[in-house]
Amino acid sequence: MKPLSTNDALKLYSLIGKYIPDLSSTTTGLEFVGTIIENIKTSGNHRDYVEAVALMMGTTVESLVTELKMEEILTMFMEGLQDNKILFLQEFCKKVGFDGR
């Protein structure tokens, strides 16, 4: 998976920015991603998670869920957040006043 364009990165932040925890509340990268997933789960907006993966993969939600197992989608989500430097994206968006909503 390659990093997204600036436009698509902002779309990604619009999808998951509200679920990203404060970095000081987590201790590891895995815990950080786990908190994002848990926040999405708690919100009930599970489609945001799948839409984020589809965006990062450059595919549609429909093809993603029909072609891959949920474990594979989860792995892609974690890799996609890393590849797209989600912490730097969050910091950038905060600095420019983009809340993504």
pTM (2 decimals)? 0.87
Grouping H, G, I as helix, E, B as strand and the rest as coil, residue 21 is coil
Residue of 78, 28, 85 lying closest to 52 (CA atoms)? 78
pLDDT of amino acid 33: 84
Q: Which two tokens stand for residue 57?
A: 């993969």
Along the 101 residues of the chain, how does pLDDT read in single tens digits? 789 999 999 999 999 999 998 776 666 777 888 899 999 999 999 899 999 999 999 999 999 989 999 899 989 999 999 999 888 898 899 899 987 66
Exposed, middle or buried by CB within 10 Å (0-12, 13-18, 19+), for 69? Answer: exposed
DSSP 27: S
